[in-house]
Structures are given as C-alpha cells and as structure tokens.
C-alpha cells in the first residue's frame, strides 16, 4: 500500500523521538556509571613544599624553598632551629651550641658575661670561634672582661698589667682602661722604681717616690741603702763627709765627727710635728743597739724659742708601757738628752736631764731637782703596732722642743759651746738597753764631765 505524505511525516517524527530516547538513556547510564565510580575512587593530595601548608611528609613549610632560614628547601626543620605554625615560623635556638640565622656565636648556654650573650651575640671585649663557640677575652683592648684583673690597652709585661691581663706583683691598677702604679714602699722594685726599702719615707737612701737619694747606694729587695762616705754628702749614717775617707782631719774614715756636734740655727719658723723635713742635711748622730739591731739618728737645731731635737729610729718592735709622769720611762722605747749649759762641767749632775718615751711621757730634772718640769713641745709618729711583738714594725720619729726660758737661760750666741749627750733606749719585753753618743769617761750619762761638746752655729 502506498503511503501518503501525511503518513511519512508521522513516521519520521516517531523515528527521531526514538533516537532521542535512546540517547537519553545512554547519557543517564554513563552519568551514573562514572559518577558512582568517581565516588568510589580516592585521589591523594600532592605535597607542594613552599606553599605555606604543612601536609603529610613535611616537617615545616615557611612559604619558600630556601635553605638556611630554618625550614629547608625540602620542608625539613634545619639543625639548630625550631618551627611552628603554617606557614611555618622558624627561630634559631640560642644555647644549643649551633650557630644559625642571626646568631654571632653559640657557646651552648644562655649566660651573659662569658663572651657569648644570652641572645648569642659576641660581647664587647671578646672574640668567639667554633661551634659550640669558644670565647676569649681580648687582653690588651682596654676593656676588663671575664677573668681579667686589668686591661691597660696593651699586652706587655712589666707595666703593672701583664700580657694575660693580671695585676703584676708590686702594682695596683684602677679604671678602664687600667692605670697601673707601682706600690712604692712595699719592698718590691717594679716599673720605674730605682729602689724600694719597704717604707714611704725620704732621707733614708730611698726616697718617697722610690728613687735612690743623692749620696746613697741601694741594693736588694727590700732595698738596703748605705751612704757613700767621701762624696761630700752627709747621708743617713754619716755625721760628716769632708770628701775623703782619711782619719785625723776632724771627720773620720767612716764619716763620723769625733769631737763635737755643730747645731745649726733654723732658717725660719719651726713646727713640732714629728716630721723631719726641716732637718734635711743637718749633721747627724747615729746610735745602734747591737742586741736588738735598732738604729737611731739624732739631729739638733735651735732658734730664739729653744733647742729642737729629733730622732729617727728604725725599730722592728715598738714597746712602751710607762704612763706615769716622772716614771721609769727609760725602760721603754725612749730618747734622752743631757745638757751642761755653758760647758762649765761643774758638779756631778748635769744642768738639765730629760727622757721622753714614745707615749710622750716625760721624766726630767734640773741640777738634780726632780720637782722641775721642763717646758716642752713633743710629737711622735709611730710606724707600726705598739706592744705587738708578733708583727714587724718600722720604727718611729720623735721631735722635741726645749724652751730656753724653761732652762732659765737666754738663747745662746753663735759659737757658744755647751756640754751635751743624747741616748737611745730600746725595750724588748722585760729587758731594755741604753746607748749614749758620748759619755767619754765611761761613767753615768748624766755626769757633766763625761759629756760631748755641741757648738751653736749662726745662720
């Protein structure tokens, strides 16, 4: 049967629709097939080091792939660092002995004052090497650090601060950079010192600034200084020096005056203070106690006020206990002076007899009259500890002024002669020894016939 045009249109219509339905069923089947399969498959994440995300397999991720910042190029925490967070923040661990990041040093601790500070910086005056860091102070840089006792800006020995920055024996150092000075008077010769006799006094051969004084030679430590007889300089143990060492010319071969003492007139006002500056260059009387080794140097001067006597005593044991006026002060460390006014030598008792111990206690008499009290000014300077035999003392200086009016006489005239003797008393425990200057007849010190002669000089 032959189909008409209308029948062909419906037929084409249904055929197209069938194809569409087939395509629809095919699409739905594929969607469900692959959709469900996709749900069953697991695609793992891939680690991307440097993206700032810490994922499985990474120890850190700081957002870059640089080494040396704590988190390495493969996202591992580098030695000496600790990292936290994401993106990771990494910090060096000061005190673990590893130098990383901004650290200048790391000595394995977080202490200051050892060269490497608590924040791993090299401290001023130090240098540090290695890891763990070994730090040393820079001796000679002028900064005192670590175990240094001083630092004078150099690494030289012999200037007070040694090459390893220790204070050298006989020196003291202060300040930064250190200023070091030798301890003149400590018995050690250091630096610019020419001598050191264990005291800071002048007039004994070694001066207050440890220079050998004119007319002396000094040897040893502590220095022992001796005068040079024959050099025309009257030094410590000399009473004269005429430029030679011959006897028979008034000044003996060992520079001692054997016949008289010349008392110079003071050039100006005198102050009784126990100091010896005004007596520099004045003729001396030297007395030695063999039993104890004590040595005394007496010197005298005068003016219109009175007679001045000083004694400088080297004594290793200072002792005095008599405190009663007119007591037995001669049993103590003491000085004694005997005067025969006008050198008349009459009688068996001197005109004036005065003894003074180092406590400034006095016993005195005039023509044998013990009721007389001299008008005196006294001063004593002790160098040591009184009454302590366990230590070694240096000695003492005593200065005494006897007023003329106390003696009942006017001031003497130049070239006037008096009889005179001086004596040293030295005590050791319960014993004492007395050594006079003159006493030529071998009798009692106070006997005017046995006195030496002193002559008053003009200006």
The predicted structure's pLDDT at residue 233: 79
Least confident of 44-58, 125-139, 366-380: 44-58
421 in any annotated domain: yes
Select, from the ranges 196-210, 293-307, 333-347, the one with the highest average predicted confidence (pLDDT). 293-307
Select, from the ranges 11-25, 303-317, 333-347, the one with the highest average predicted confidence (pLDDT). 303-317
Same domain, 282 and 412: yes
Q: Pick the more confident residue, 251 or 325.
A: 325
Least confident of 24-28, 84-88, 424-428: 24-28
Please state whether 191 falls in left (phi above 0), alpha (psi between -120 and 50) or beta.
Answer: left
Cα atoms in the Cβ-side hemisphere of radius 13 Å centred on 159: 14
Same domain, 387 and 268: yes
pLDDT band at 204 (very low <50, low <70, confident <90, very high): confident
Domain boundary among 159, 182, 205: 182
- First CA to last CA distance, the chain: 184
Q: Pick the more confident residue, 293 or 25.
A: 293
pLDDT band at 335 (very low <50, low <70, confident <90, very high): very high
In the chain, % of residues over pLDDT 70: 87
393 and 317 in contact (C-beta within 8 Å)? yes
8 in any annotated domain: no
| Integer Cα distance of 129 and 135 in angstroms | 7
Least confident of 128-137, 232-241, 283-292, 293-302: 232-241
**317-356: string of b/e by CB count within 10 Å (b at 16+)?**
bbbbebeeeebebbbbbbbbbbbbbebeeeeebbbbbbbb
| Integer Cα distance of 80 and 109 in angstroms | 13
The predicted structure's pLDDT at residue 401: 98
Domain boundary among 150, 182, 214: 182
DSSP letter string, 353-384: EEEEETT--EEEEETTBTT----EEEEEEEES
Same domain, 150 and 273: no
pLDDT for residue 347 is more than 80: no
Which backbone phi and psi does 8 adopt, to 5 degrees?
A: -65, -35
The predicted structure's pLDDT at residue 269: 94
pLDDT for residue 437 is more than 60: yes
Same domain, 151 and 286: no
169 in any annotated domain: yes
The predicted structure's pLDDT at residue 385: 95
The average pLDDT across 136-144 equals 82
Task: Determine the structural domain holding residue 157 and report its residue range.
Answer: 138-182
Same domain, 275 and 383: yes
Integer CA distances (angstroms), 212 to 189, 207, 283, 396, in order: 12, 6, 20, 22
The predicted structure's pLDDT at residue 283: 85
pLDDT for residue 279 is more than 80: yes
pLDDT for residue 380 is more than 90: yes
Which backbone phi and psi does 26 adopt, to 5 degrees?
A: -65, -45
154 in any annotated domain: yes
pLDDT for residue 448 is more than 60: yes
pLDDT for residue 436 is more than 50: yes
pLDDT for residue 246 is more than 60: yes
Same domain, 313 and 452: yes
Same domain, 421 and 322: yes
H/E run at residue 309: strand 306-314
Which residues, 6 or more positions from 8, have their beta carbon under 8 angstroms from its beta carbon?
none
The residue among 413, 420, 416 whose CA lies nearest residue 445 is 420
Number of domains making up the chain: 2
The predicted structure's pLDDT at residue 260: 83
pLDDT band at 42 (very low <50, low <70, confident <90, very high): very low
Which backbone phi and psi does 260 adopt, to 5 degrees?
A: -160, 165
The predicted structure's pLDDT at residue 248: 55
- CATH number of residue 298's parent domain: 2.60.40.1190
Per-residue pLDDT tens over the stretch 415-430: 999 999 999 999 999 9
8-state DSSP, 122: B
The average pLDDT across 310-337 equals 96
Q: State whether the Cα torsion 140-145-146-150 is positive or negative.
A: positive
**Tokens of residue 215, six digits:** 């007319």
pLDDT for residue 256 is more than 90: no
Q: How many CB atoms lie within 10 A of CB 440?
A: 13
The average pLDDT across 156-161 equals 85
51 in any annotated domain: no
In the chain, % of residues over pLDDT 90: 43
300 in any annotated domain: yes
Angle at CA of residue 46, ends 43 and 50, nearest 5°: 160
Please state whether 286 falls in left (phi above 0), alpha (psi between -120 and 50) or beta.
Answer: beta
pLDDT band at 355 (very low <50, low <70, confident <90, very high): very high
Q: Pick the more confident residue, 322 or 172.
A: 322
The residue among 249, 248, 229 whose CA lies nearest residue 239 is 229
Say whether pTM exceeds 0.85: no
The predicted structure's pLDDT at residue 46: 55
- Cβ burial of 53 (10 Å; 0-12, 13-18, 19+) is middle
pLDDT band at 239 (very low <50, low <70, confident <90, very high): confident
25 in any annotated domain: no
Helices (H), 248-322: none
Domain boundary among 182, 212, 242: 182
237 in any annotated domain: no
The average pLDDT across 407-416 equals 94
Same domain, 159 and 267: no
Same domain, 437 and 322: yes
Same domain, 430 and 306: yes
The predicted structure's pLDDT at residue 419: 93
H/E run at residue 35: helix 5-40
The predicted structure's pLDDT at residue 32: 47
Mean of pLDDT over the chain: 84
């Amino acid at each position: 049967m032959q189909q008409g045009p209308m029948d062909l249109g419906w037929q084409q219509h249904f055929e197209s629709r069938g194809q569409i339905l087939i395509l629809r069923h095919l699409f739905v089947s594929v969607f469900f097939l692959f959709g469900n399969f996709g749900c069953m498959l697991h695609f793992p994440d891939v680690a991307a080091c440097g993206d700032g995300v810490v994922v499985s397999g990474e120890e850190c991720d700081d957002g870059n792939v640089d080494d040396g910042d704590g988190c390495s190029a493969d996202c591992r925490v580098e030695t000496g660092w600790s990292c936290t967070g994401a993106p990771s923040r990494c910090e060096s661990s000061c005190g673990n002995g590893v130098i990383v990041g901004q650290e200048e040093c790391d000595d394995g601790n977080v202490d200051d004052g050892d060269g490497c500070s608590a924040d791993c910086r090299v401290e001023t005056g130090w240098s540090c090497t290695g890891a763990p860091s070994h730090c040393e102070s820079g001796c000679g840089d002028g900064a005192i650090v670590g175990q240094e006792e001083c630092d004078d800006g150099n690494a030289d020995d012999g200037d007070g601060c040694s090459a390893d920055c220790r204070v050298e024996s006989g020196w003291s150092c202060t300040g930064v950079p250190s200023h070091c000075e030798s301890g003149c008077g400590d018995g050690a010769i250091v630096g610019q010192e020419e001598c050191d006799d264990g005291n800071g006094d002048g007039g004994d051969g070694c001066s207050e600034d440890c220079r050998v004084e004119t007319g002396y030679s000094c040897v040893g430590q502590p220095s022992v200084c001796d005068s040079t007889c024959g050099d025309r300089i009257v030094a410590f143990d000399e009473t004269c020096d005429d430029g030679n060492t011959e006897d028979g010319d008034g000044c003996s071969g060992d520079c001692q005056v054997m016949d008289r003492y010349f008392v110079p007139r003071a050039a100006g006002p005198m102050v009784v203070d126990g100091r010896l500056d005004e007596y520099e260059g004045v003729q001396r009387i030297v007395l030695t106690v063999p039993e104890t080794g004590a040595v005394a140097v007496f010197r005298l001067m005068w003016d219109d006020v009175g007679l001045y006597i000083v004694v400088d005593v080297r004594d290793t044991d200072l002792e005095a206990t008599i405190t009663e006026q007119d007591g037995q002060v001669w049993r103590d460390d003491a000085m004694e002076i005997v005067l025969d006014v006008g050198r008349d030598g009459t009688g068996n008792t001197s005109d004036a007899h005065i003894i003074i111990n180092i406590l400034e206690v006095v016993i005195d008499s005039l023509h044998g009259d013990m009721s007389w009290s001299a008008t005196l000014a006294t001063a004593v300077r002790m160098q040591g500890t009184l009454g302590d035999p366990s230590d070694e003392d240096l000695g003492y200086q005593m200065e005494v002024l006897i007023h003329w009016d106390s003696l009942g006489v006017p001031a003497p005239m130049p070239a006037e002669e008096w009889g005179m003797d001086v004596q040293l008393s030295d005590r050791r425990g319960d014993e004492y020894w007395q050594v006079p200057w003159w006493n030529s007849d071998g009798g009692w010190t106070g006997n005017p016939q046995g006195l030496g002669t002193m002559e008053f000089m003009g200006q």
